[in-house]
């Protein structure tokens, strides 16, 4: 059985591929109506995650959006990217004589 992890909870998905796609579309449509009390913007990423279980293009889109979002968040917070590790070069004591 397919499942996803969202907001620290594991959510089981339907076995049918068509049902998963329909559920994902319903969540995305519900996220568009975020001004209503129960429906919210949280439904958009959940719908994308549900559709991404079966669709490689949506999976790539989600990954790129996540990476670019994290880069923007680091820039906004003023934290630089993680520095690349430098190769440590130790001088040879015999060569200095």
Compute and round to an integer the Cα radius of gyration of the chain. Answer: 22
How is the chain split into domains, by residue range?
Answer: 3-77
Structural element, H or E, at residue 3: strand 3-6
Give residue 91's pLDDT.
Answer: 66
Q: Which residue has the higher pLDDT, 60 or 83?
A: 60
Taking the C-alpha atoms of residue 55 and residue 22, their distance in angstroms, rounded to an integer, is 13
Residue (of 43, 44, 54, 59) closest to 17 by Cα position: 54
Give residue 89's pLDDT.
Answer: 66
Label residue 66 by pLDDT band (50, 70, 90): confident
Residue (of 90, 71, 92) closest to 82 by Cα position: 71
Give residue 93's pLDDT.
Answer: 66
Phi first, then psi: give them for residue 51, nearest 5 degrees. -65, -35
Beta bridge partners of 4: 11
pTM of the predicted protein model: 0.59
pLDDT tens digits, 16-65: 888 889 999 998 898 888 787 777 888 888 888 888 888 888 889 888 98
What mean pLDDT is predicted for residues 9-20? 85
Taking the C-alpha atoms of residue 81 and residue 88, their distance in angstroms, rounded to an integer, is 20
Give residue 78's pLDDT.
Answer: 82
Residue 79 has pLDDT above 70, yes or no: no
């Amino acid at each position: 059985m397919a499942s996803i992890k969202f907001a620290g909870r594991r959510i089981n998905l339907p076995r049918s591929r068509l049902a998963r796609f329909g559920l994902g579309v319903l969540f995305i449509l519900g996220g568009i109506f975020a001004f209503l009390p129960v429906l919210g913007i949280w439904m958009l990423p959940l719908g994308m995650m549900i559709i991404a279980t079966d669709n490689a293009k949506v999976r790539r889109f989600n990954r790129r959006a996540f990476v670019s979002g994290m880069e923007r968040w680091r820039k906004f917070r003023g934290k630089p990217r993680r520095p690349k590790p430098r190769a440590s070069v130790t001088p040879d004591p015999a060569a200095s004589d």
